[in-house]
Amino acid sequence: MGKAMAALFIERGAQVLITGRDESKLAKVAEELKCSYVTADVASDDDISRTFDWIDSNWKGGLDVLINNAGIGSFSELDGLNRADFREVFEVNVYGAAMMAKEAVKRFKSEKIQGDIVNIASTASLKGFAKGSVYSASKFALRAMTQAWQAELRPFDIRVIQVNPSEVPTAFNSPERTERALQDKKLTPVEIAHTVLSTLEMDRRGFIPEVSVFATNPF
């Protein structure tokens, strides 16, 4: 989904920085899309600092959009849960998103930028499911943070938007991090990219607090 969003935004004339933990994959995508990259893990405060240091040094116009798209999952029945899985998933899906947003908002405010934060959550933030205790809890938490930030930041003309994709075949939760094959009747990353772009293109007098995207007929 990150690649699809980057490609669409670049097509529309945006200056894009992509981040992730896999440097070889990042470098390949950045070369293909002709964009910049920083190898970084949102679970690391040092990596987050390096990311924003790069932005401060290279984007003189400042950052105006942050997309929190990093996400991992852990799926287990209740009697198989452990604290380590909660910690690992929340470090990325919740704490990482919050620390990235914190750094973006500091710059929005100091530079008086009417910026946007887009949190890529999941329909799992709306309803729990079997074996989804860890993952769904993290996305419910992201939804709560989104709503809190909306309340805090609207007086600064900063919009916070949550996008909830339903099932999209991607490399998510793949141990080898290989992309899954797309399926004819299921969503693709392109639908999510178009959804995000549409929310950002709305005139700034309005914003879409939350939008969910489902396949029309995946059965």
The pLDDT of 8-28, averaged and rounded, is 97
Q: Tokens 């470090």 identify what position?
A: 91
Cα 174 to its chain centre, rounded Å, is 18
Q: Write down the pLDDT at residue 218.
A: 87
Lowest mean pLDDT, pick from 7-21, 51-65, 145-159, 178-192: 178-192
The pLDDT of 77-94, averaged and rounded, is 98
Contact 118, 161 (CB under 8 A): yes
> What is the SS3 assignment for 151?
helix
Catalytic residue set: 135
Lowest mean pLDDT, pick from 48-57, 110-119, 171-180: 171-180
Domain 2-213 fold is: Rossmann fold (3.40.50)
Contact 169, 127 (CB under 8 A): no
Q: What percentage of the chain's residues is helix, strand, coil (to nearest 5)?
A: 50, 15, 40
Residues 166-189 pLDDT 10s: 998 865 655 665 666 777 889 999
Q: Write down the pLDDT at residue 58.
A: 97
Q: Which residues make beta-bridge pairs with 85?
A: none
How far is it, in rounded angstroms, from Cα 160 to Cα 153? 8
The two tokens of residue 154 are 């609207």
pLDDT bin (cut points 50, 70, 90) of residue 219 is confident
Can you give the residue ranges of every domain in the chain? Answer: 2-213
Higher pLDDT, 61 or 19: 19
